[in-house]
Amino acid sequence: MTTPPATEGGEGTGATAARLIGRAMTSERALSGTLSEVTLTGGRVVMVKRGDGPGALRAEAAGLYWLADTGTVRVPAVHGHDERWLVTDRVPPGRPSGEAAARFGRDLAALHAAGAPAFGSPPPGGPKDAYIGLAPMRNIPGTDWPRWYAEHRVLPYLRRAVDDGTVRPTEAAVVERVLERLPELAGPAEPPARLHGDLWNGNVLWGADHHADHHVWLIDPAAHGGHRETDLAMLHLFGCPHLDRVLDGYQETAPLADGWADRIGLHQLFPLLVHAVLFGRGYAEQALAVARAALAR
């Protein structure tokens, strides 16, 4: 057993599990500096996560509850949380399969159809100042998707990238021209969807259960009300096993508007600029390439 990391107040992983769940820890395997796989008395295995920023875990827990409430996609159960720690079920690892991918596509369509009060709506109980990965993300409600997306999902990260020197001002003007044209590029108006919000491949787990088939589980949401094509664009950006089967299942349940594939790049501007802020110039160049392609349409 590894030595449990301690918080600034001195509480370690074992003490956290006991306080939040009411069971003592029997063993722990650290997966990163902030995440541990913990076995509790009685044999239950949970994930214990330490928070990276103010409100981050409260936002994540609220997102997991909000997604779970739909009865659509599978998410790990939340066993306890506070401002510093989050305890959830561990997802037994499985293997990707076409059948599970098609089921995931149908479930994701149903999740999106569950809706949200507005674009930018946080989950009930979730903070306005949330996170996407390690980057702050503000959930400010809006009714017009092109305007909301420009003001609250693209421009904050574009400005930060310019301030950091990752994007030059002349390059930022290219993205700003795309945002000016969003009303004509965005396609037919859609109601606010209930988004996972950070749907890259690392947050899509191919789990196993007691049956022969496997299921997809979603972790680490940055849940909010948004455009459903944004979740799908993120799956395209970072790859997903059997993505064609995921899309087939999605389209069977809730067909996408004509031209959706041409709009993938517009929805990728948000995660690409987030990654440019967090990880540097390479992602900025991808964002600029996407913006130039949109202007060439």
Q: Dig out the tokens for 66 from the structure.
A: 């909000």
Q: What is the pTM of this model?
A: 0.92
User: Which residues neighbour 87 within 8 Å (Cβ) at sequence distance 6 or greater?
Assistant: 16, 17, 20, 21, 46, 47, 48, 49, 78, 79, 80, 81
Q: Closest by alpha carbon to 96, among 287, 226, 218, 240? A: 240
Q: Dig out the tokens for 221 from the structure.
A: 């949401």
Answer for the pair 30, 61: CB distance below 8 angstroms, yes or no: no
Per-residue pLDDT reduced to its tens digit, 171-195: 999 999 999 999 999 999 999 999 9
Q: CATH assignment of 92-296, given 3.90.1200.10, 3.40.50.2020, 3.40.50.300, 3.30.43.10?
A: 3.90.1200.10
Judged by DSSP in three states, 42 sits in coil
Q: Dig out the tokens for 193 from the structure.
A: 């969807």
Catalytic hit among 129, 144, 163, 198: 198
When the pLDDT of each residue in the chain is averaged and rounded to a whole number, the result is: 92
Q: Closest by alpha carbon to 194, among 105, 106, 66? A: 66
User: Which residues neighbour 8 within 8 Å (Cβ) at sequence distance 6 or greater?
Assistant: none
- Check residue 103 and give its pLDDT: 96
- Check residue 210 and give its pLDDT: 52
- Check residue 22 and give its pLDDT: 84
Beta strands in 108-238 (DSSP E): 129-132, 135-138, 193-195, 204-208, 214-218, 224-226
Active site residue 198: yes
Domain boundaries, the chain: 92-296
Match 């107040």 to its residue by tokens. 9
Beta strands in the chain (DSSP E): 25-30, 35-40, 45-50, 78-81, 85-89, 129-132, 135-138, 193-195, 204-208, 214-218, 224-226
Per-residue pLDDT reduced to its tens digit, 44-101: 889 999 887 888 999 999 999 999 999 999 999 999 998 889 999 999 888 999 999 9
- Per-residue confidence band for 1, with pLDDT thresholds at 50, 70 and 90: very low
Q: Dig out the tokens for 169 from the structure.
A: 């001002």
For the chain, the straight-line distance linking the first and the last C-alpha, in angstroms and rounded, comes to 57
Which region among 15-19, 154-158, 291-295 has the lowest average model confidence (pLDDT)?
15-19
